[in-house]
Amino acid sequence: MPSIRFSFEHANFDARIDAVLPDTEDALERALGPVASDMADAARNAALAHIRFEGTKPGQYLASIYGGTFRGPGVVGGFVRSGSPLAHLLELGASTPAHDILPKAAAALAFDGSAGQVFASIVHHPGATIPAYPALSPAFDAARGAIAAAIESAAKG
């Protein structure tokens, strides 16, 4: 019977199996597939719960969340991730420092304000803080037991 060691760190999971039987990699891939799919569903639900306004369409972020498995020589793994370029901002939050916005091509910036069109030679942006709305890491945290059970079950045959 192979011994299995698990370690969880942040959103990373590592399982080391001492001895891999010939069919173990196939069994691991079959066992991890449904867990990865469930994690992706949980992440999409968590992301959807962060949408505060009715009628707001979450768009590409929700559609970009997916889970699956991968396999390489001696390696089988599962994952949940987002293909959105904004995923890290939503997952971890962000802040931008105060800065000045200068015109690029014209001598002035033009934008519509409450009093009509406004022209300015410089605009001061006060900075912004984007709060974190994690979806991927909570889905991973909630699935730790299922991940360990799937790996143990597959490894023990």
Whole-number pLDDT of residue 58: 64
Q: What is the dihedral of CA 68, 70, 75, 81, to 10 degrees?
A: -60
> What pTM, to 2 d.p., does this model score?
0.72
Confidence check: pLDDT of 98 > 90: yes
| Same domain membership, residue 135 and residue 115 | no
Give the chain's end-to-end CA distance (angstroms, integer). 9
Instruction: Give yes or no: residues 54 and 89 share one domain.
Output: yes
- Quote the CA–CA distance of 105 and 82 in Å, as a whole number: 35
Pair 61, 122 in one domain: no
Q: What's the confidence (pLDDT) of residue 39?
A: 93
Please give the tally of structural domains in the chain: 2
Q: What whole-number distance in Å separates Cα of residue 35 and Cα of residue 139? A: 10
Q: Are residues 30 and 89 in the same domain?
A: yes
Question: Are residues 58 and 126 located together in one domain of the fold?
Answer: no
Percent of the chain at pLDDT > 70 equals 80
pLDDT value at 2 more than 60: no
Query: Distance between CA atoms of 119 and 103, rounded to whole angstroms?
Result: 10
Characterize 76-113 residue by residue with b for buried, 16 or more Cβ atoms within 10 angstroms of its Cβ, and e for exposed. Answer: bbbbbbbebeebeebbeeeeeeeeeeeeeeeeeeeeee
pLDDT of residue 105: 80
Query: Is residue 98 domain-shared with residue 141, that is, in the same domain?
Result: no
| CB atoms closer than 10 angstroms to residue 44 | 23
User: Length of the chain in residues, anyone?
Assistant: 157
Domain span holding position 104: 94-130
- When mean pLDDT is compared over 3-7, 9-13, 118-122, 134-138, the highest value belongs to 134-138
Whether residue 98 sits in one domain with residue 81: no
